[in-house]
Amino acid sequence: MLLLAAALAAGVVLGLLLARRGLYRRLGRAVDGALFLMVYGIVFTVGVEAGSSLRGSSREMLASIAFSSIAYAAVTAAASLAAAVLVLRLTRRDRR
């Protein structure tokens, strides 16, 4: 989970560097499309796991998937909030 937050922070730094050099405007749509596909891929994978758990009537596995999904969502939300605060602070410094 910490690796996820570190990867997000590295992405924020890379995004800031690309934006400062004016390159992000060219890559913005491709990045948005990749994020869109990744999110739907994760949701699809969780659905497949949940469906296979229900079919095999393994409630313990279904509970594990549900708790893992909740933990993943919580860590992702916290990392996104931290990245947003970092970006806000960095852009405020640039404006001054």
Give per-residue pLDDT as tens, 59-93.
677 677 777 777 777 777 777 777 777 777 777 65
Q: What size, in residues, is the chain? A: 96
Please check whether residue 28 lies inside any domain of the structure. yes
Is the CB of residue 5 less than 8 Å from the CB of residue 79?
yes
pTM score: 0.44
Give per-residue pLDDT as tens, 2-57.
677 777 778 778 877 877 877 767 777 777 777 777 777 777 877 777 777 666 65
Please check whether residue 22 lies inside any domain of the structure. yes
Please check whether residue 80 lies inside any domain of the structure. yes
Please check whether residue 1 lies inside any domain of the structure. no
Domain that holds residue 52: 9-95
How many structural domains are present in the chain?
A: 1
Please tell me the distance from the alpha carbon of residue 66 to that of residue 30, in angstroms, as a whole number: 31
Please check whether residue 4 lies inside any domain of the structure. no
